[in-house]
Structures are given as C-alpha cells and as structure tokens.
Amino acid sequence: MKVAVYYNLHKHVFSLQSRDKETYGRVVEHSEHVILKNANFVVRKKGREKVLKEKTKNVHAFVVGEVIQGLPSGKEHSTEVPVVYNPYKGPSFVKKTTKEPVYDSDYAVLRLGPLDNKPLVSAYKVSHYD
C-alpha cells in the first residue's frame, strides 16, 4: 500500500495517509513504527510558508512510499542516514549530520525514540539533488 506518513502531534504517533486511488488522503492507520520502500521526502511549499508566516504548525511534510514489513538483509541497505526536517531551517528534509537535502531513498524507517518518544527518521540509499 502506498502512503504518506507524517508525525501526528496530537496522538504522538505516525499517521499513514492513503495514496491509493480509492482512499486517497484518508488516514488508514496510526503506528509507532513504519518502514517504507521507494521513499520520497516531500515538503509542501505553501504549507511551509504558512508555518513561517503564522508561526503555527500544520501538516505539510511527509515521507511517501510503499509500506513493507522489514528492511531486506544485505550490505547495500546497511548504512543508516538520520534525516530531519525543520521548516524554520530550510525547505527540505536534510541529513542530520551534514545538512545536505534529502529527496529520495530506497528505504525509510520512521519510529519513536526509545527514551523520549520523539519521531526519528532514517533513510537507506539516499538520493539528493544539489
């Protein structure tokens, strides 16, 4: 199933929004852990502009991909790249360490942190254009 995943600030879990034709846009599940294949890191420009203007949060950043049950084994998928997004610091998701933009990856893992329950996003086989 193809979904757009975002962190739900009210429920403190990830919301999975359908990207299938029949149910497009409908939240179909909530989860503390999601693995996506063929992930795209999407930031809606107008939504970000609204955040910057009004200084209030809204849902405008997603990781879009196909839900899978686990990462495949193999060396080519073993390098985890932590990814973050902050609308006040830039217009895209970025690598946490280098701040390089991230737009696509073969796989993405979204989970809650073990100590603080904050959202953590990791990408595997990352693509970026810049």
pLDDT at 127: 63
pLDDT at 15: 98
Q: Measured between alpha carbons, how far is 35 from 39 in angstroms, rounded to an integer? A: 9
The dihedrals phi and psi of 59, each to the nearest 5 degrees, come to: -80, 110
Give the length of the chain: 130
pLDDT at 129: 54
Q: What is the pTM of this model?
A: 0.90
Q: Which residues of the chain have pLDDT under 50?
A: 130
Residue 13's SS3 state is: strand
Distances (CA, A) of 130 to 39, 86, 90, 100, 109: 18, 18, 14, 8, 23
Residue 94's SS3 state is: strand
